[in-house]
Structure 1
Amino acid sequence: MRKKITGCVLVLLILASCKTDKKKDDSDTWRTKKAAVANATHNQLLEVEKEEGWELLFDGKTMNGWHLYNDPDAESVWEVVDGSLHSNANDESLTAGDLVTDNAYENYELTLEWKISGNGNSGVFINVQELPEVPTAWQSGPEYQILGADHMDYDVPEKRPGCLYVFLPQQNNVEVKQGEWNKTRIKQVDGKIEFYLNGVLTAEKDFSLPEWKEGIAGTHFSKYPEFGKTTEGKVALQYWYFETWFRNIKIREL
C-alpha cells in the first residue's frame, strides 16, 4: 500500500513540475517579446541600412537638418519630445508652420513613422520649392496625406491617408492604426512616385507626364504656379493645428 501511495505522489510531483516548467517557459517567452518591444531602438541605422545607403533625417535628439519653412530662426511649434518630432498645438505663442529639410532630393526612398491625434490632419510634402514668394510648402509640393481616423475627411476617397492628396483615391484600401505608430514609405525615381501606408501601396503617379499638368489644371492648385512643377525638392512635414509625432525618418538616394 505504501509503495502505491509513494508512486502516486511521485506522479503528481512530476506533473506539477511539468506545469511549472511550461508556465516558466511561457512566461520567459512573454517577457522576452515584451522586452524586445519595450527596448526597440529608434532613430538609428542598422549596419545593413548603412550598407544600403540609408541616412537618418532625424537623430531623435535635435532638430538638425530641419527648419521652419521660410523662417529658419523662428521659435516654432516643432520640438523634440521622447525621441520624436512633435508639433506642439497647445502653445499659441510659438510660430506655426511646416517643417522642411535643409537639403533637396530628387531620386530617393523615404521612410518614416507617425502618430496623430484622432481628428488631426497632416501630411508629407515632396519636391518642395522653398521660395520667398511661395508662402507655404503645400503651394509647391504634392502631398502624401496623413489623417486621423476621427477626421471629417477620413472617408473622402481623394483625402484618405496615404493618398496623393486630392488627385487619387487609395489604390488599395488600408486603415490608420489610431493611437499607434503608422509607417509611411515614399519612393520617387525620375518623377515616378509610389506611396505606401503600413506596407500597402496607396498611390502611383508619374509627375513627368503631360497628364500630371493636366490634372493640376483641374484643381485649386492651378492657382499656384510652382505647384507640382518639378521632380526635385525638399521634404516637408505639415503642421495643421493638431498634435502629430514623427520618428525613424530615413532616406536613401537612388
Structure 2
Amino acid sequence: MKPTICSIIILIFSGTVSVAQKINTLSPAEKKAGWKLLFDGKTTNGWRGAYSSGFPKHGWKVADGILSGDLSDGAESGDAGDIVTLKKYRDFELVFDWKLGKGGNSGVKYFIEERQPKPEKGSQAGYEYQLIDDAEYIYQDKKLPQDLKTASIYDVVAPEKTDTKMEVWHSSKIVVRKNHIEHWLDGVKVLDTDRSSQAFKNGVADSKFRDYPGFGDITEGHILLQDHGHSVGFRNIKIKEL
C-alpha cells in the first residue's frame, strides 16, 4: 500500500530529511540488532490457532496492515479462539501496537505451553500482558483492581500507571531475561518484577493460577493473542531473542 501524504511524517534534523518508518517493517538497524517481524502486515504467516494446526477460519482477519480480532461473543476464547506463534520463545524483547474499543478486553500472553488436556472453557494459562478498558470494564460487578488492569501480569503483578485510554493506538513492550520481567506502555516502564522474589511468589499464590503446576517457573512457550470476545487490533508486532 503506497503511503499517502497524511501517512508520511517528514522529520528534519541536522539538515537532513527522512521519512517515518512504515508500519510492520524492520529498519536496517532493527535487522542488524536481531529483530524479527511476527506479523508482516499482509498475512497470518507464523501464527496458528491455539491447540490447532491451522489458523482460525473466522474471527481473526488482516486488513489495512492490522491483525484484528473481529470478535463479539464476549467470552474468553469463546469466539474464533486464541492464536499463537508457531515458535516458542525463552528470553526475548517483544513490542507491539494495539487498540481496543470501549469496554474492550484482550491480552498478549507469553510462556504458553499448550498443556494437555485443552481447557474446556477459557484460555490457556500463561503470563498475560493485560489489555483492557481500565476505567469502564466491570468484573464481578466491580471496577477493576490494579492487578487486572492494562499492562499488569494479569492477576499476579500490578502495574504502576493511571487508566489507559481506549479507541486509540498504544505501544507496548515485554522484556524477559530469565526471571526478570518488564512491562512497558507507551515508552514508560510500568512493571518490573523478578520471579524469584517473594512478592512475585505471593502474587502467584493469590492468583487463579495457584493450582497450575510450575506456573512461577515456566521457562519457554508460545506468544498468544487472546480472543476475549471483543474487537481488538494489533500491528508492528516484533520480537528480538535475547
Q: Is the shorter-chain TM-score for this pair beyond 0.5, marking a shared fold? A: yes
Q: Say which of 27, 44, 47 aligns to 1:46.
A: 27
Q: Say which of 54, 57, 67 aligns to 1:85.
A: 67
Deviations 1:76-96 (A, max 9, x none): 42111211110011589x952
Number of the residue aligned with 1:157: 146
For 1:1-254, list aligned pairs within 5 A. Answer: 35-36=8-9, 41-73=22-54, 74-90=56-72, 96-135=80-119, 138-148=123-133, 149-152=135-138, 155-171=144-160, 173-209=161-197, 212-225=200-213, 227-254=215-242
C-alpha change, 1:210 and 1:233, in structure 2 (3 Å) is farther
Q: Which structure has the greater CA radius of gyration?
A: 1
Deviations 1:15-37 (A, max 9, x none): xxxxxxxxxxxxxxxx9787428
Q: Which runs of 5+ in 1 are unaligned?
A: 1-30
Aligned length in residues? 222
Assess if the C-alpha contact under 8 Å between 2:109 and 2:225 holds in 1. Answer: yes
Assess if the C-alpha contact under 8 Å between 2:114 and 2:124 holds in 1. Answer: no
What is the CA-CA distance between 1:213 and the residue it aligns to? 4.1
Find the aligned partners of 2:32 and 2:122 in 1 and give their Cα distance.
32
Deviations 1:155-201 (A, max 9, x none): 52111211111122222x24423211101000000121000111111
Report which of the two has the higher share of helix: 1
Deviations 1:227-251 (A, max 9, x none): 3441221110111111000000000
Q: Which 10-residue stretch deviates more, 201-210 or 125-134?
A: 201-210
Q: In structure 2, the residue corresponding to 1:48 is in which secondary structure? A: helix
Assess if the C-alpha contact under 8 Å between 1:125 and 1:137 holds in 2. Answer: no
Report which of the two has the higher share of strand: 2
Q: TM-score, normalised by structure 2?
A: 0.81
Q: Give the % identical residues.
A: 35
Q: TM-score, normalised by structure 1?
A: 0.77
Q: Which runs of 5+ in 2 are unaligned?
A: 11-18
Deviations 1:195-225 (A, max 9, x none): 0111111212222456544432222212333
Assess if the C-alpha contact under 8 Å between 2:82 and 2:225 holds in 1. Answer: yes
Number of the residue aligned with 1:3: none
Deviations 1:70-127 (A, max 9, x none): 02334242111211110011589x9521111110111110000000111011111111
Assess if the C-alpha contact under 8 Å between 1:129 and 1:137 holds in 2. Answer: no
C-alpha change, 1:79 and 1:194, in structure 2 (3 Å) is same
Number of the residue aligned with 2:16: none
Assess if the C-alpha contact under 8 Å between 1:127 and 1:228 holds in 2. Answer: no
C-alpha change, 1:98 and 1:45, in structure 2 (3 Å) is same
Find the aligned partners of 2:212 and 2:124 in 1 and give their Cα distance.
6
Find the aligned partners of 2:149 and 2:159 in 1 and give their Cα distance.
7
